[in-house]
Amino acid sequence: MQSRPLNGFIVGDYLVAGLTTTAGAIPLSDIFIILHLSVFCLAIYDNCLYNLRMRYVICTTQGMEVNVERLRTLRTEHVLTLRELAEAAGVSKDTIWRLENSHSEAHPSTIRKLAKALDVQPKELVKAGARHG
Protein backbone atom coordinates (compact mmCIF):
# COMPACT_ATOMS: atom_id res chain seq x y z
CA MET A 1 0.00 0.00 0.00
CA GLN A 2 1.40 3.36 -1.02
CA SER A 3 1.15 6.47 1.10
CA ARG A 4 -0.05 9.66 -0.53
CA PRO A 5 2.29 12.67 -0.08
CA LEU A 6 0.81 16.10 0.58
CA ASN A 7 1.58 17.74 -2.79
CA GLY A 8 1.84 14.86 -5.21
CA PHE A 9 1.63 11.13 -5.51
CA ILE A 10 3.97 8.17 -5.88
CA VAL A 11 4.22 6.42 -9.25
CA GLY A 12 6.64 3.51 -9.13
CA ASP A 13 9.79 4.92 -7.56
CA TYR A 14 8.96 8.59 -8.21
CA LEU A 15 7.20 11.36 -6.32
CA VAL A 16 5.10 13.26 -8.81
CA ALA A 17 4.53 16.93 -8.08
CA GLY A 18 1.28 17.30 -10.02
CA LEU A 19 -1.61 14.97 -10.57
CA THR A 20 -1.68 15.14 -14.39
CA THR A 21 1.95 14.68 -15.45
CA THR A 22 5.09 12.79 -14.45
CA ALA A 23 7.38 15.56 -15.76
CA GLY A 24 9.52 16.94 -12.93
CA ALA A 25 9.15 13.80 -10.86
CA ILE A 26 11.78 13.35 -8.12
CA PRO A 27 13.19 9.84 -7.58
CA LEU A 28 12.44 8.52 -4.09
CA SER A 29 16.15 7.84 -3.57
CA ASP A 30 16.77 11.59 -3.98
CA ILE A 31 14.01 12.33 -1.49
CA PHE A 32 15.65 10.03 1.06
CA ILE A 33 18.98 11.75 0.45
CA ILE A 34 17.33 15.13 1.00
CA LEU A 35 15.70 13.87 4.21
CA HIS A 36 19.01 12.48 5.47
CA LEU A 37 20.76 15.77 4.67
CA SER A 38 18.01 17.65 6.49
CA VAL A 39 18.47 15.50 9.59
CA PHE A 40 22.25 15.93 9.33
CA CYS A 41 21.88 19.72 9.05
CA LEU A 42 19.60 19.77 12.10
CA ALA A 43 22.18 17.78 14.06
CA ILE A 44 24.93 20.24 13.05
CA TYR A 45 22.68 23.19 13.94
CA ASP A 46 21.91 21.64 17.34
CA ASN A 47 25.63 21.11 17.95
CA CYS A 48 26.33 24.76 17.06
CA LEU A 49 23.66 25.93 19.51
CA TYR A 50 25.13 23.70 22.22
CA ASN A 51 28.61 25.15 21.60
CA LEU A 52 27.24 28.69 21.82
CA ARG A 53 25.50 27.89 25.11
CA MET A 54 28.72 26.40 26.51
CA ARG A 55 30.74 29.39 25.31
CA TYR A 56 28.27 31.73 27.02
CA VAL A 57 28.48 29.76 30.27
CA ILE A 58 32.27 29.76 30.14
CA CYS A 59 32.38 33.48 29.38
CA THR A 60 30.06 34.31 32.26
CA THR A 61 31.93 32.27 34.86
CA GLN A 62 32.86 34.75 37.54
CA GLY A 63 36.55 35.40 37.87
CA MET A 64 38.57 35.36 41.02
CA GLU A 65 40.36 38.34 42.45
CA VAL A 66 44.11 37.87 42.16
CA ASN A 67 46.54 38.83 44.91
CA VAL A 68 48.40 41.27 42.67
CA GLU A 69 51.32 41.86 45.03
CA ARG A 70 51.90 38.13 45.52
CA LEU A 71 51.77 37.42 41.77
CA ARG A 72 54.26 40.17 40.99
CA THR A 73 56.53 39.14 43.88
CA LEU A 74 56.57 35.49 42.80
CA ARG A 75 57.28 36.46 39.21
CA THR A 76 60.22 38.68 40.19
CA GLU A 77 61.54 36.08 42.68
CA HIS A 78 61.62 33.56 39.83
CA VAL A 79 63.31 36.25 37.69
CA LEU A 80 60.69 35.95 34.98
CA THR A 81 59.48 38.56 32.52
CA LEU A 82 55.80 38.80 31.69
CA ARG A 83 56.49 37.00 28.41
CA GLU A 84 58.45 34.19 30.09
CA LEU A 85 55.76 33.59 32.71
CA ALA A 86 53.11 33.69 29.99
CA GLU A 87 54.94 31.02 27.99
CA ALA A 88 55.53 28.86 31.08
CA ALA A 89 51.89 29.10 32.16
CA GLY A 90 50.35 28.85 28.70
CA VAL A 91 48.48 32.16 28.93
CA SER A 92 48.96 35.43 27.09
CA LYS A 93 51.35 38.14 28.22
CA ASP A 94 48.43 40.59 28.13
CA THR A 95 46.48 38.42 30.58
CA ILE A 96 49.29 38.57 33.13
CA TRP A 97 49.72 42.31 32.58
CA ARG A 98 45.98 42.88 33.16
CA LEU A 99 46.08 40.77 36.33
CA GLU A 100 49.17 42.48 37.74
CA ASN A 101 47.65 45.89 37.05
CA SER A 102 44.23 44.99 38.52
CA HIS A 103 42.46 45.49 35.19
CA SER A 104 40.68 42.12 35.31
CA GLU A 105 39.95 39.09 37.41
CA ALA A 106 41.29 35.65 36.59
CA HIS A 107 39.41 32.58 35.50
CA PRO A 108 40.09 29.72 37.95
CA SER A 109 41.95 27.76 35.25
CA THR A 110 44.26 30.75 34.69
CA ILE A 111 45.08 30.86 38.39
CA ARG A 112 45.88 27.14 38.35
CA LYS A 113 48.15 27.56 35.31
CA LEU A 114 50.01 30.48 36.89
CA ALA A 115 50.38 28.65 40.20
CA LYS A 116 51.84 25.62 38.47
CA ALA A 117 54.31 27.76 36.52
CA LEU A 118 55.34 29.55 39.74
CA ASP A 119 55.46 26.30 41.74
CA VAL A 120 52.95 27.43 44.38
CA GLN A 121 49.44 26.44 45.47
CA PRO A 122 46.66 28.31 43.63
CA LYS A 123 45.34 29.70 46.93
CA GLU A 124 48.54 31.76 47.21
CA LEU A 125 47.50 33.76 44.16
CA VAL A 126 43.94 34.46 45.27
CA LYS A 127 43.05 37.35 47.55
CA ALA A 128 41.63 36.27 50.90
CA GLY A 129 37.84 36.24 50.79
CA ALA A 130 37.77 36.33 46.97
CA ARG A 131 34.60 35.03 45.38
CA HIS A 132 34.66 31.70 43.57
CA GLY A 133 33.06 31.24 40.08
Reported as a single tens digit per residue, the pLDDT across 24-33 is 566 667 767 7
Residues 113 and 84 in one domain: yes
| Residue that is last in its domain, among 59, 82, 100 | 59
4 assigned to some structural domain: no
Q: Indicate the Cα dihedral angle 93, 99, 105, 109, nearest 10°.
A: 50
Q: Which residues contact 72 (CB under 8 A, 6 or more apart)?
A: 100
Q: Which of the four pLDDT bands, split at 50, 70 and 90, describes residue 52? A: low
CATH number of the CATH domain containing 95: 1.10.260.40
107 assigned to some structural domain: yes
Taking the C-alpha atoms of residue 34 and residue 87, their distance in angstroms, rounded to an integer, is 49
pLDDT of residue 34: 73
pLDDT of residue 133: 46
Residues 84 and 116 in one domain: yes
- Rounded mean pLDDT, 92-110: 89
2 assigned to some structural domain: no
pLDDT of residue 61: 54
74 assigned to some structural domain: yes
Q: Which of the four pLDDT bands, split at 50, 70 and 90, describes residue 9? A: very low
Residues 47 and 15 in one domain: yes
112 assigned to some structural domain: yes
**Could you say which DSSP state residue 51 is in?**
H
pLDDT of residue 44: 74
Residues 74 and 121 in one domain: yes
Q: How many structural domains are present in the chain? A: 2
Residues 51 and 95 in one domain: no
Give the residue numbers spanning the domain of 79. Answer: 68-125
Q: Which of the four pLDDT bands, split at 50, 70 and 90, describes residue 72? A: very high
Q: Tell me: pLDDT of 20 over 60.
A: no
Task: With 0.85 as the threshold, say if the pTM is over it.
Answer: no
105 assigned to some structural domain: yes
Residues 35 and 84 in one domain: no
Q: Tell me: pLDDT of 57 over 80.
A: no
